[in-house]
Structures are given as structure tokens and as C-alpha cells.
Structure 1
Amino acid sequence: MALALFDLDETLLRGDSASLWLEYLVEQGLAPADMLAREQAMMNLYHQGKMDMHAYMAFTLAPLAGKARAWVDGHCQHFCEQWLLPRLYREGLDRIAWHQRRCDTLVLISASGEHIVAPVARALGMDHCIAIELDMVDGRLTGETCGVLSFRQGKVARLHECFGKACAGSFAYSDSINDLPLLEWAEFPHATNPAKALRELAQARHWPVLEWDKSLLE
């Protein structure tokens, strides 16, 4: 079984789904506007490889604490359809279709929350979705996460939970140096729309560098 592992943010998607989700919440009057600047400061740390993901998730999940999961899922489905799907790169969809023709097992693996990522995975026909899991009590979000966060080495840990040891012939696609453990886990890593640090490392290691920033669905 060959896995095809796709990161979402800045890889298949122009932009970061979690940042866009917060913009959506502010637009809908469900989160205060002053959260946006603080979230962007946290994202700057992410791009430097210095983010505390537990702190980031606690901050961005705060507006959802106490909300019914069904209510959140309804908003996330609308957000996916109206905000995220138009931002997908055509080249990324072409690569997904190539893997589907090969009968590979498709995995969307992201450090964003599964409430955001799962609707995208369904829309793309992914076989599996690995994302940060949300804690719930009596059908309502607590504002906390649970389980191993699918971030940095946590992505590999979650892959081990799902599939065991590394699968021969597996492919991985990501833009970020934070996903170096994921790329190293796969037999065929691809630096995709890579940021500077990953681009330099990929070139030094002679990994393929893909640019999927030419055509969007919109």
C-alpha cells in the first residue's frame, strides 16, 4: 500500500485554513476582531519554526468553547465550500487524481483542527484525514484539544497510530520546514510551494520542488 500524504495549508491551499477560519468567525460576529492581529503574531512564529501549537489551539478554539459540535460542523461545511475550495490549486488536484489512478491511499494530514480539515478531505475524496482533534463533553466543544497534535513530529506519530511503520513507496507533499519529519518519513518527499528554509533543504537533498501557485479554482 502506497500512501500519498498531502499537507493542506500553503500546499494544496493558497493560505492557512486556521487563519482564514478565524477571519470567517470575525466576519460572522462570532469572534472579536482583535484576535486577528494576535493570531498573525502566532503565525509568524509558526513560519520561524517556533510556534507553541498547544497555545495556538487554545487561543483559536476559545470562541468555540461551549458550542454544540453540530452547530460548529454546519459552519465549517459552509466555510469549506465558500472560503477554502476556491483556494485550492489546480496542480494539486491534478496530483491527487494521479495518485487516485495509481490506487494509492490518499491522506490529508494537517496541523489545523479536524473541524476545518475534515470537510476538505471529504470534498477531495481523501481516504483518511489526520488533523488536530477537538475535545468534547456532551456534544459540545470544550475549547481544548485531545490526543497527539498532528504538528511536526506529531504528524509522524499520528501516521504510526493509523498505519504502523513507514509504508514503502509513500509520497509526501508539504510547503513547510515544520513538516520535515513527515517528508523524511516518506520514501518520495516533495517540497511543494516551499518556504525558503524548506526550499534550501530540498535543493541540498535533491528532493523534487513543485510550484502549485499558478492556477486556482476560482
Structure 2
Amino acid sequence: MLFDNHKKTIKPYLAIFDLDETLIAADSASLWNAFLVQKGLAPQSLLEEEQRLMQAYAKGTLDMNTYMEATLQPIKGCDITKISALVEEFVEEKIKPALYPDALARIEWHKKRGDHVLIISATSEHLVKPIATMLNVEDVIAIELETINGIFTGNTKGTLSYQQGKVIRMKAWLDNQDTEFKGSYGYSDSINDLPMLDAVDRPFAVNPDPALSLHAQVQDWTIMDWRHDNNILR
């Protein structure tokens, strides 16, 4: 498990949410790439390449370094401020309509309990952090991007928060907290997040892909059906 309760003051539970296809009914990185093409800032071929890479993601075989190298090309050499303004427009136009009402209700449920909410994503931080801000979630773990003098280099840095990398990053995050937690909840849709879900005390499969659905049934995990057009929390 993620926790060593012998060193710090114990506080309420930690609620860990994946982002794409868990909190939103879409993949934010895919929407962003399409947005860049729509704006004339990336070629149509980017979407074709990404579609091929996402097929590997669905099978749990994607090389995330390859994906990031391909999809960061449009912002390589761009000023952070310019991209931040674009992301703000993107979040308002593309992400807000894709939010699962059930996800918003579940976050609120945890907050009312006094739990600490953390979003962890295999999408890059320049997208995940503004989305988390919109959701009133302060703590985020996402793929970190290298910048030099306020310019994106097109490279990532550190451990990529993907598959086992999510657990590595979570453990590092926990080590930097002033408090410990009684335990943890985890929410995801993807078999790629199996390491994360195995690491928490209370795993939930949200609209799971076929592989995660089968695993969840075998392990007797709770499976949650969140509908984009339904704002009633189950």
C-alpha cells in the first residue's frame, strides 16, 4: 500500500482520480490535439499519428515517450504564456462540456467528508493543471514538461505518470506531505492504471475498458457507471 502511518499525523482519506475518461467523457490530450489542428497550429497528420498511438494505449502497450515526443511537437518552441492562453480557451470550449456530472458529485462527496482530493494523469501538466483548477482541485500529478526561459522545449522531465510511473510519482508526492492519511480511494477507467488501483485501499473502476472491467469483476471491485447526461450520483 501507499502509506506508512508511523511517521506523520493521520488525517482523512486520500481520493485519487484519473482524469481522462474518468472525470471527463473524453481524452483531454486527444481533444487538445484536435483543437490545435482546428486552430491551424498543428497538421492533420498529428491526429492520424495520435489515433495509431492511442490504439496501443487501449491495449496497454503504448510507449509514452513516443506519444509525448509526437504530441508535443506543436508547442515546441512556444512561449508558456501564449500556450496558457490557448489552454484557457480550450478548457472552456472543449473540457467543460465533457465533464461527467457524476464525477463532480463524487469529488464533492469526498470533500464533504474531509478527504483530500488528488488528480493524477498521464496527460501533460500544461493541460491537467488548468482542468484541475476548474474542478477546484489543488493537487495534481501529471507529466512534467521541460521549459527553458519560459519556452517549451518539446521534452518531458522526470518520471512519466503513466502505468507504474503513477505509483512512483504518488509515493514521492506522499513523502512530501506533512500529514498521513487513514487510507485511499482510487478511481480510473483504464487497464493502464492497474498499478495505481492495486496500490490504493479502495479501488473503483469507472466506466472501465474491457480489460479493467474483467479484472474488477474478478477482484470484486466496485464498478461505477457514470453517464455524461446524468447528474445523479450513484
For residues 210 and 198 of structure 2, what CA distance do their matches in structure 1 show? 18
Q: 1:116 to 1:214 in 2, by over 3 A?
A: closer
For residues 138 and 150 of structure 2, what CA distance do their matches in structure 1 show? 25
1:129-168 alignment runs, 5 A limit? 129-164=140-175, 167-168=181-182
1:88 Cα shift?
0.5
1:127 Cα shift?
2.7
1:216 Cα shift?
6.3
Conserved 8 A contact 2:98-2:228: no
**Is 2:160 aligned against 1:180?**
no
How high is the TM-score relative to the length of structure 1? 0.96
1:1-218 alignment runs, 5 A limit? 1=11, 2-164=13-175, 167-215=181-229
Task: Tell me the SS of whatever aligns to 1:13.
Answer: coil
Q: Which amino acid aligns with 2:192?
A: N
Residues 114-165 of structure 1 deviation map (CA, whole Å, 9 limit, x = unaligned): 1011111001111301100100011000000011100001111111111139
Q: Which amino acid aligns with 2:209?
A: A
Conserved 8 A contact 1:88-1:216: no
Task: Tell me the SS of whatever aligns to 2:26.
Answer: coil
Residues 6-32 of structure 1 deviation map (CA, whole Å, 9 limit, x = unaligned): 101111111111011000000000000
Q: Which amino acid aligns with 1:19?
A: S
1:169 Cα shift?
2.0
Task: Tell me the SS of whatever aligns to 1:20.
Answer: helix
Q: Which amino acid aligns with 1:145?
A: T
Task: Tell me the SS of whatever aligns to 2:120.
Answer: strand
What runs of 5+ residues in structure 2 fail to find an aligned partner?
1-10
For residues 136 and 80 of structure 1, what CA distance do their matches in structure 2 show? 22
Task: Tell me the SS of whatever aligns to 1:142.
Answer: strand
Identity %: 44
Q: 1:114 to 1:216 in 2, by over 3 A?
A: farther
How high is the TM-score relative to the length of structure 2? 0.90
Task: Tell me the SS of whatever aligns to 2:72.
Answer: helix
Task: Tell me the SS of whatever aligns to 1:183.
Answer: helix
Q: Which amino acid aligns with 1:215?
A: D
1:213 Cα shift?
2.1
For residues 53 and 72 of structure 1, what CA distance do their matches in structure 2 show? 22
Q: Which amino acid aligns with 2:226?
A: W
For residues 213 and 112 of structure 1, what CA distance do their matches in structure 2 show? 22
Question: Aligned Cα RMSD in Å?
Answer: 1.4
* Equivalences, count: 217
Conserved 8 A contact 1:86-1:216: no
Task: Tell me the SS of whatever aligns to 1:213.
Answer: coil
